[in-house]
Amino acid sequence: MHRFFVPPHSIKESRVVLRGTIVHQIRDVLRMRPGDDIVLLDNSGWAQRAELVTIDRDAVRGRVVEKWKLETEPQTRITLYQGLLKGQKFEWVLQKGTEIGIIAFMPVMAARCVISTVNDVSDARIERWEKIIVEAAEQAGRAALPHLSNAIMFPHACEQAGRAGLALIPWEGERSRGLREALQDVPKSKEIGLFIGPEGGFTEEEIATAQERGVIPVSLGPRILRAETAGLVAASAILYELGDLG
Ligand code: SAH
């Protein structure tokens, strides 16, 4: 069944009124008919099955026929601090990261990023990123939409993550501390900040800056992963280690 994230105000008691791009999606793309069912997600942790009643050009109306609590959010809350990447690689990370169960994405401007300032991240690009997250969250049946922040500078990101809880920075130069070791005795419901570099990786100065702010370098093993792979592998491994992948 098709799942859609909708603004909470589109559901009042059991009456559903949907407007905007979802109307085109239901009417023209999916060619749904009155009597068909959809599942509505409103970021509250609940899912509601609605039967479509009328499908017009400007609005789709329906009624809620069933409601249940979703148990799809991981207890371990990972924020991915991802160095900005070229082309579509950042989009891939958002899409796959949402499926895996990342809670928040923080685009980070690091020394070796190809773009030069945070202002190079256009509003149109952010809007596209948000759309990718929504679609991935619908597909994955997430109970809550992962949060996407504006791009921030690396030192600022380290400060924020260092204050928030456990913060890890996978670095291929780390020889002793592995990811598993860093997760020992970490409670399941923990906030974890995870830093992944851009294509060229982090500089030694950045690793030093991170450490000063309490962000711990870890190894992801002997093979070098691409920037768009590393965060997904690390996030999956963390969720697995802490019992969040079933
Ligand atoms: N500078 C490297 C590649 C960087 S990979 C080179 O060109 O050789 C991009 C990011 O992925 C790194 O900044 C790091 O955060 C992460 N990463 C990839 N492989 C890793 C590994 N084996 N251990 C720890 N981190 C890794």
pLDDT of residue 164: 85
Residues 6+ apart with CB under 8 A from 124: none
Residue 121, pLDDT > 90, answer no
Mean predicted confidence (pLDDT) in 173-180: 95
| CATH at residue 89 | 3.40.1280.10
Residue where a domain stops, chosen among 48, 69, 90: 69
How far is ligand 1, taken at its centre, from the CA of residue 171, in Å? 6
Closest CA to 169 of 118, 129, 206: 206
How far is ligand 1, taken at its centre, from the CA of residue 134, in Å? 28
The full DSSP string for 172-237 is: TT--S-BHHHHTTT--TT-EEEEEE--TT---HHHHHHHHHTTPEEEB--SSPPPHHHHHHHHHHH
Mean predicted confidence (pLDDT) in 34-53: 96
Instruction: Give the separation between CA 33 and CA 23, rounded to whole angstroms.
Output: 12
Residue 116, pLDDT > 90, answer no
Q: Supply the range of the domain harboring residue 217.
A: 77-241
Which amino acid, residue 103? I
pLDDT of residue 19: 97
How far is ligand 1, taken at its centre, from the CA of residue 114, in Å? 16
127 and 207, same structural domain?
yes
Determine, yes or no, domain membership for 37. Answer: yes
- Mean pLDDT rounded to a whole number for the chain: 95
**Given the CA of residue 197, which atom of ligand 1 is nearest to it?**
13
Mean predicted confidence (pLDDT) in 9-15: 95
Residues 6+ apart with CB under 8 A from 207: 169, 171, 173, 217
**Given the CA of residue 227, which atom of ligand 1 is nearest to it?**
9
How far is ligand 1, taken at its centre, from the CA of residue 174, in Å? 10
- Decide: 24 and 61 in contact? Cβ < 8 Å: no
Residue 87, pLDDT > 90, answer no
Pocket test for ligand 1, best of 84, 169, 172, 218 (most atoms within 8 A of CB): 172
Q: Which residues have CB under 6 Å of ligand 1?
A: 170-172, 196-197, 200-202, 219-221, 223-225, 227, 230
Domain tally for the chain?
A: 2
Closest CA to 25 of 1, 60, 54, 50: 60
Which amino acid, residue 174? E
Determine, yes or no, domain membership for 246. Answer: no
DSSP β-ladder status, 15-18 and 60-69 = antiparallel
How far is ligand 1, taken at its centre, from the CA of residue 97, in Å? 17
Mean predicted confidence (pLDDT) in 58-70: 97
103 and 52, same structural domain?
no
**Can you give the three-state secondary structure of 45-105, one letter per residue?**
CEEEEEEEEEECCCCEEEEEEEEEECCCCCCCEEEEEEECCCCCHHHHHHHHHHHHCCCEE
* Top-confidence residue, 165 or 57: 57
DSSP β-ladder status, 77-83 and 216-218 = unpaired
How far is ligand 1, taken at its centre, from the CA of residue 135, in Å? 28
Mean predicted confidence (pLDDT) in 146-150: 95
Residue where a domain stops, chosen among 69, 89, 122: 69
- pLDDT class of 117 with cuts at 50, 70, 90: confident
The model's pLDDT over 194-215, given as tens digits with 9 standing for 90+, comes to: 999 999 999 999 999 999 999 9
Pocket test for ligand 1, best of 158, 199, 225, 238 (most atoms within 8 A of CB): 225
Residue 185, pLDDT > 80, answer yes
